[in-house]
Amino acid sequence: MKSQVKRMPNVRGEGERLRQEILDAATRILEETGREDALSLRGVAREVGISAPSVYRHFKDKGDLVSTVLDAAYRTLAVAMSKAGESAAAAGADPWARVRATVTAYRRFAIDKPRRYQLMFSLEYEPERRPSADHPIGTVLQAWTDTADAYLTEAAPGRRAEAQDLGIHLWTALHGQLVLWRTLPSPVAGSEDVLIELEESLLRRLLPTPETPSPTE
Amino acid sequence: MKSQVKRMPNVRGEGERLRQEILDAATRILEETGREDALSLRGVAREVGISAPSVYRHFKDKGDLVSTVLDAAYRTLAVAMSKAGESAAAAGADPWARVRATVTAYRRFAIDKPRRYQLMFSLEYEPERRPSADHPIGTVLQAWTDTADAYLTEAAPGRRAEAQDLGIHLWTALHGQLVLWRTLPSPVAGSEDVLIELEESLLRRLLPTPETPSPTE
DNA sequence: TTGTTAGACTAACAGCGTTAATCGATGAAT
DNA sequence: ATTCATCGATTAACGCTGTTAGTCTAACAA
């Protein structure tokens, strides 16, 4: 029996490296296709250069692999939002501009890799298995309520109690725009300009206006 | 040499009926699971009592079967919205109440069969194959712009030009609420009351207020 | 030196979508 | 009355899938 171009087992303790390679391959495939059933363990294994059952050494099953990929994506999104808001604040932007920076970061995340975004929010409906408080999607919610709170603190300190409500409003409405925007028939929507316009007009309606209104009216 | 006159499709009776049976079974499975890959042609065939390849006599492939089911769902939704709006109008409801009736119909549709709703709007992202103008999802958009137009006509006739914009705003924002509402971690959201409250506060912000404001403020 | 185990493998099962080839019955054309 | 096309369905098969069971190999511990 001739030696094939087989991958030799990693030295002890380096098993984590293969895990990461599997994760990277799976991430790439999911970002390209946006469909969970387009990801096959055999395909991942083929790409990494191992055999399919070897994946089970690192992930419980296919669903576990997908979940791990998505968990990272939620955290990436939350970090991108926080960073955008903070660096806008550091640059001395006014509250409105800071919200805009965060929203833009969110939109970029969704539009740059639309299939990833689609996958992130096409969670199965499981009435009894609602995501627990520590589900990584909670980090995204936290980023939104933080954004809303930062805005209200500066623009309307008397209404800080509404921060969580406002955060949810912003998130859900923008999410709906992003999801339906490319589903709408061509003539009525489709260009990113249309989307940004929608987004702007939405923010104007949802954000309590500070005493010194922004020039966009 | 034969006459090329196409023979009328031999209505041997069974043909169309089987097609409908297949459609019914597929609809049921999709509404129960909400996942396209949970529908198997073999499963449908098993349920109907035929063999799997027989499905191909009536549907081009699995995707065609799913599309057919979803097309019907879009139309059902659009009809439900129209009916709700019209019967509210017939009952002499004010413009605001008519919008509320339509929105409630939409929410019911989404909540009664959440998996069906999820499936309807988890369309694959195909940048080049944007739904054409005659895609049945357009009937839903039409229902929303109709609703917006009817409202503006009575409540703010001077702004009828915004009808389509307003319709899109309503749709996207409500859709986002419905989708994320059950995804949010348990303590912050989950009950239908919370959803309705969100919905109401959204409508208040999005709908131009008529001269005689509704009593909900 | 022996035993244990991490890290990979091959083989196999059951299920999937889909295609090809076929069969029986019906109804029309000769 | 006989032939022929076609509708509605069949079985067989290909190549893919997720997953499990069992096995091999190399590295480490005793």
d(CA A25, CA A140): 24
d(CA B22, CA B19): 5
Separation of A73 CA and D17 C1' (Å) = 26
Positions of chain D reached by protein Cβ under 7 A: 6-12, 16-22, 25-28
d(CA B116, CA B121): 9
Which H or E run includes B152? helix B137-155
Residue B171, C-beta contacts closer than 8 angstroms, at least 6 positions apart: A176, A180, B140, B141, B144
| DSSP-based three-state secondary structure for B133 | coil
Residues A30-40: what's their mean pLDDT?
96
Res. A37 pLDDT band, cuts 50 70 90 = very high
Which chain B residues contact residue A165 at CB under 8 A?
198, 201
Annotation: CATH topology of B13-59: Arc Repressor Mutant, subunit A (1.10.10)
CA angle A23, A25, A29 (to 5 degrees): 115
Three-state secondary structure along A72-109?
Answer: HHHHHHHHHHHHHHHHHHHCCCCHHHHHHHHHHHHHHH
Which H or E run includes B174? helix B163-181
Each residue's pLDDT, cut to its tens digit, for chain B (217 residues) gives 333 333 334 445 566 788 999 999 999 999 999 999 999 999 999 999 999 999 999 999 999 999 999 999 999 999 999 999 999 999 999 999 999 999 999 999 999 999 999 999 998 887 777 777 788 999 999 999 999 999 999 999 999 999 999 999 999 999 999 999 988 876 666 689 999 999 999 999 999 987 554 444 4
Separation of A63 CA and C5 C1' (Å) = 27
Q: What is the DSSP string of A17-44?
A: HHHHHHHHHHHHHHHHH--GGG--HHHH
Location of structure tokens 């109008």: B89
Among B125, B173, B201, beta carbon nearest to A176: B173
Res. A15 pLDDT band, cuts 50 70 90 = low
How far CA A49 is from CA of A8, A124, A184, in Å, comes to 10, 31, 41
Among A125, A133, A184, beta carbon nearest to B114: A125
Share of chain A above pLDDT 90, in %: 76
| End-to-end Cα, chain B, rounded Å | 79
Res. A186 pLDDT band, cuts 50 70 90 = low
Classify each residue of B172-185 as buried b or exposed e, where b means 16 or more C-beta atoms within 10 Å of its C-beta.
bbbbbbbbbbbbbb
Contact flag A188-B36 (C-beta cutoff 8 Å): no
Give pLDDT, residue A207: 93
Are the folds of A15-57 and A70-206 the same? no
Residues A166-175: what's their mean pLDDT?
97
- Check the CA dihedral A168-A170-A176-A178 and report its sign: negative
Give pLDDT, residue B5: 37
- Contact between A17 and A10 under an 8 Å Cβ cutoff? The reply is yes
User: What are the pLDDT digits (tens) for B168-186?
Assistant: 999 999 999 999 998 887 6
**What are the residue boundaries of the structural domains of chain A, listed by start?**
15-57, 70-206
d(CA B2, CA B170): 59
Positions of chain C reached by protein Cβ under 7 A: 6-12, 15-21, 26-30
Average confidence score pLDDT of chain A: 88
Q: Which nucleotide minimizes the distance between its C1' and the CA of B54?
A: D9
CATH of domain A15-57: 1.10.10
Residue A115, C-beta contacts closer than 8 angstroms, at least 6 positions apart: A30, A31, A32, A33, A34, A35, B125
Contact flag A206-B201 (C-beta cutoff 8 Å): no
| DSSP-based three-state secondary structure for B171 | helix
Residues A174-187: what's their mean pLDDT?
87
The reply to whether A54 Cβ lies less than 7 angstroms from strand C is yes
Residues A192-202: what's their mean pLDDT?
93
Q: Among A22-36, A114-128, B45-59, whose mean pLDDT is lowest? A: A114-128
Among A164, A180, A190, beta carbon nearest to B172: A180
Give pLDDT, residue B190: 67
**B contact test, residue of A111, A122, A135, A172 with most B CBs within 10 A:** A172
Q: Among A40-54, A92-106, B189-203, whose mean pLDDT is lowest? A: B189-203
Give pLDDT, residue B130: 72
Average confidence score pLDDT of chain B: 88
Separation of A137 CA and D7 C1' (Å) = 53
Give pLDDT, residue A125: 80
Which chain A residues contact residue B185 at CB under 8 A?
130-133, 135, 137-138, 141
CATH of domain A70-206: 1.10.357.10
Separation of A3 CA and C7 C1' (Å) = 18
Q: Among A65-74, A117-126, A178-187, B157-166, whose mean pLDDT is lowest? A: A178-187
**B contact test, residue of A74, A180, A188, A206 with most B CBs within 10 A:** A180
Give pLDDT, residue B187: 64
Separation of B16 CA and C15 C1' (Å) = 29
